[in-house]
Structure 1
Amino acid sequence: MSIFKKIITALRGGVRETGEAIVDANSTRIFEQEIRDSEKHVTIAKRDLTEVMAKQMQAARELAQLQESIKEHEGYAMQALNQGNEALAIEVAEKIAELENSAADQQQTNESYLKSADRLKVLIKKSERQLTDYKRQLSMVKTTQSVQKATSAITDNFVASNSKLLSAKDSLERIKQKQTLFDDKLKAAEQLESENSDTSLKSKLQGAGIGAQQSNAQSILARLKTK
């Protein structure tokens, strides 16, 4: 049973490692998608904020109407009292009390909407700042990846080029060796031909002072003096 548990644990570890490998391989794509999802949520939050602000405006408008109505009925009550009509004044006072209760409730509603709107504005601004920073970092990540890919390609090409350059260098050396050997063969052939020719014999005779000698300035001058 213990071995079976270990096998299950090993399988779970393998699944986790595979999952992490998939996440690592697609981390940039996942990060970019998370940014898009966050942007959608911010858009929804802005729409909700618009509704809250609209309701707050409506609540403020209704509160103002209630407060105006209270002032109006206070005037009615004062007129009734001035006329000595206390019963009518009490009836108006009851109406004022009803309006004040409604105004108090409306005041709470209005303040609640104001607080919600302010809180949403802060959260949206914070989210937008965070998204701006994430987008900047995403751009940097993509640029870094592009540079790394280019560097890797350059390195691979450089290694391959070095191998090709070494091979080309060897080929060039072989070509040069063949050409040098060819030149040496030509020189050797010319030397053999020279040694086997009459020119070579004449050169040897002249060197020994035998046969016709080439004229030079001293010999010519000596001949002229004898004349």
Structure 2
Amino acid sequence: MSVIKKLVTLLRGSARELGQSMVDANATRIYEQEITDAKASIGQAKTELTGVMAQQMQTAREIERIKADVLRHENMALQALDKQKDDLALEVAARVAALEAELQAQTEAHAAYALQVSRLKDLIRSAEARVREHEREIGIAKTTESVYRATQSISESMGASGSKLTSARESLERIRKRHEELADRMAAAEELDAEFGHRALERKLAEAGIGEDPKVKAQDVMARLRARRASLALPAPGAAGPADAGASAA
């Protein structure tokens, strides 16, 4: 029997945990439904309030009617007394007493309805204020939950894309290394060409004074130009020619 009791207790505990987990998972939805139910109850209370207010209005009209009836009967009783019809005046007075008793009952009922209306209005206003407060809280709760979901989604996305970003960085690093290797190869090729290739031979000839020197070629060009100028007998800039000398003598 003790084993059976423990099994039953275990099932009850499992059911409680399952129910609690379901409540926790749907807390926002349950909260919203409770607010909806509260608003429906407030609507029902307003409907009942209109009924009480209608009865209050009816008693108010009934009070005014009874007051007018009492005044009319009092006038008739006075008229009977004026005509010395005391028996008739007594009957009318009895009717006035009955009307006054009815007036008293209607006045008390009207006061009771007024008190109920006032209390119901206070309760409805209080309930509506609490519902508005809960609606603000559920709005904040939903926003917070959305932020948590977005944060979790971003975290998961970053975690999932972390390997992709790492792979992309590795690819860029491989490309950079390949470019550096190509640059090193080109520099090495230039160095080998300067040491063993055609440019190496030209450098060695220049160092030995063999071959054409650009400076020498430039001096040859200048000498050729001077000789040509002398053959043409051109006066040097600033020097006076034969015509200029004759003009000076005159």
TM bin (shorter chain): 0.7 to 0.9
How far did residue 206 of structure 1 move? 4.7
Report how far residue 40 of structure 1 moved.
Answer: 1.5
Structure 2: which 5+ runs fail to align?
Answer: 224-250
| Offset at residue 198 of structure 1 (A) | 4.2
Give deviations 1:7-66, integer Å, cap 9, x for gaps: 222221111111111111111111112222221211111111111111111111112211
Aligned to 1:130: 130
SS of equivalent to 2:163: helix
* CA deviations over 1:190-214 (Å, ceiling 9, x no partner): 444444334324434554x474585
Aligned to 2:143: 143
Deviation at 1:120, TM superposition (A): 1.0
> Partners in 2 of 1:71 and 1:5 — Cα distance?
81
Q: Spell out the pairing of 1:86-97 with structure 2 (5 A cutoff).
A: 86-97=86-97
**Which amino acid in structure 2 is aligned with residue 65 of structure 1?**
R
Matched with 1:85 is 85
1:28-67 aligned at under 5 Å gives the runs: 28-67=28-67
TM-score (normalizing by structure 1): 0.84
- Once structures 1 and 2 are overlaid, which stretch shifts more, 155-164 or 101-110? 155-164
Shift of 1:81: 2.4
Give the Cα–Cα distance (whole angstroms) in 1 for the partners of residues 189 and 203 of structure 2: 19
Q: After the TM superposition, which segments of 4 or more aligned residues of structure 1 sit over 6 Å from their partners?
A: none
Q: What is the aligned partner in structure 1 of residue 172 from structure 2?
A: 172
Pick closer, same or farther for the CA change 1:75–1:173 going to 2, 3 Å.
same
1:20 paired residue number: 20
One-letter amino acid of the structure 2 residue matched with residue 101 of structure 1: A
Supply the AA of the counterpart residue of 2:105. Answer: D
2:174 maps to amino acid: R
1:131-161 Cα distance to aligned partner (Å, 9 max, x none): 2222222222222222222222222233334
- Whether the 8 Å contact between 2:52 and 2:113 is mirrored in structure 1 is yes
Write the distance in 2 (CA, Å) between the matches of 1:139 and 1:43.
Answer: 22
- Further displaced range: 64-73 or 53-62: 64-73
> Could you tell me how far apart the structure 1 residues matched to 2:67 and 2:214 are?
144
**Distance (whole Å) between structure 2 residues aligned to residue 198 and residue 150 of structure 1:** 68
| Matching residue's letter, 1:143 | T
Q: Give the equivalent residue in structure 2 for 1:8.
A: 8
SS of the equivalent of 2:84 reads coil
- Residue 94 and residue 199 in structure 1: after superposition, are their counterparts in 2 closer, same or farther (change >3 A)? closer
Computing the radius of gyration from Cα coordinates, the structure with the larger value is: 2
The letter of the residue matching 2:103 is: A
Q: d(CA) in 2 for partners of 1:34 and 1:199?
A: 93
With over 3 angstroms needed to count, the CA separation of the structure-2 counterparts of 1:72 and 1:198, relative to structure 1, is closer
CA separation in 1, counterparts of 2:148 and 2:154?
10
Distance in 2 of aligned mates of 1:100 and 1:198: 140
Q: Which amino acid letter does the alignment assign opposite residue 115 of structure 1?
A: L
Q: What residue in structure 1 maps to residue 181 of structure 2?
A: 181
Does residue 160 (structure 1) correspond to residue 160 (structure 2)? The answer is yes
Are 1:76 and 2:72 an aligned pair? no
Structure 2 equivalent of residue 107 of structure 1: 107
TM-score (norm 2): 0.77
Alignment partner of 2:142: what SS? helix
